[in-house]
Structure 1
Amino acid sequence: MTGVENTSGDPRRTIELLWGVSGPPRRGPKPKLTTADVVQAAVALADADTIDAVTIRGVADHLGVSPMSLYTYVPGRAELLDLMIDHAHGELPAPEPGLGWRDALTAIAQDQWELFHRHPWLLQVTTSRSALGPHSFAKYEHELRALDGIGLDDVEMDAAAGLVTNLVRATARSSIDAARLVRTSGLTDAQWWERAAPVLAGIPAAAAEHYPIASRVGQAAGETHNAAEDPAYTFRFGLARVLDGIEALISERQQ
């Protein structure tokens, strides 16, 4: 996975595209494509490869048009990335009505975990300055709705939602990196440890004496997960602890 890219396009033009604000009418023949066609093509390229595959030329080739014609629909690559993020957020459903706040946040986190695994390129772009489109607004609204009225103020609601989404993002990255390592190495974690076992067996016992806690805990975790780590377990464990912390804060205020 390449480094995280910053979407730094023209915010005014991006917001216009996200919200369907029409510009002045154009003369000439009716466009063959729509902006949605361009975004879907870009998402398909990123899903099949990485975000590096999303270039104006690459998307144009995918659609069978000239690169220059693509500027009819998007000003440039940076704005296209913003549109792609909002498009992906459109896949996130609203939590089922009637759920308590913990169950609602758990469902939201699970849906986001699955979204990152469907579209790993989302981890390659930062969303800190992305222009909020309708789907990204809906995502944020669902997160806040789960927290509304449980005893947090507005700033705390925003922070709690951020804790959950940042946890999902971090653990999903570990999960996707681990899966990529299996593909590139050709070895599962179990196979890697099996090959490493004879070497590890030859390490002097003194090593365990010097690092007793690391040896004990590492062995227990490795035997449980059959791997050095289990990002899915960390996701579930971490989410439960974050929700416990929110619940403790609420309970403290009710005393």
Structure 2
Amino acid sequence: MSLNTKSDFYDVLAEKRNVKVERARYADVPRIQQMAQDAYEDDPLRNYLRNTPDAKKPPVAPRRDRLYIWRLMAYLELGFHIHYHAAFPVEHGDAYVTIGHPSPGRTKSAVLRMLSRVTNGVLNRTNTPEQRKRWEEFEDKIAAASKDAFGDELRRMLHVLNLAVAPRHQGKGYGYALMALANAQADEIRCASWLLSSNVINTPFYESCGFVVVKEVLLGEDNPTWTERPFAILIMMRAARS
């Protein structure tokens, strides 16, 4: 496998296929955002957070405006990762990964906190009461579980934030190529990695990339408005390589 993390381009051998992983450009944002939306269409967490009993009731903003605002927030988040060289697509948006590096520095941390506050503020104004309740449940449970799993070590770990592959391109090795890049970046700085998996069917894939389940969080178990079975969000970790 040939990999040069100091170049704009990464040639990765994945599933016996040569897959070119590039550093994302701002021009890639619309395509990446649409691809991710398609890839997460049937994701259990997305369905839990969006498909609430009051989802069709008129909230503060009409549904059309909410979709526009959500898309805008996704653009801002992607733009942040592109600016800090932490977003990497295949073919400019057929698949992508975003990476949170450890010890980001004061400026990046301040920008990240500001972006988080803006995002939470927008969600509070555009989401329905039940959607806000479920977002808070998700965030509180993940924060508690990740702290319990990693403690202070969390801030020294590389975080695989998002990974998505367009449905029509799944099975081509794109996911493996992107995870190979994330693992290589972690190995370069000799740190452990972690991620959240919101769909248990992806567990074997992440395990094949060196990750193991360290914590499981159940959502929907105490929510009377959720009529389906509770489902698990997995916290997974890959140990540091010397």
Bigger Cα Rg:
1
TM class by shorter chain equals: under 0.3
The structure in which a higher percent of residues are helix is: 1
Please give the TM-score of this superposition, normalised by the length of structure 1: 0.24
The structure in which a higher percent of residues are strand is: 2
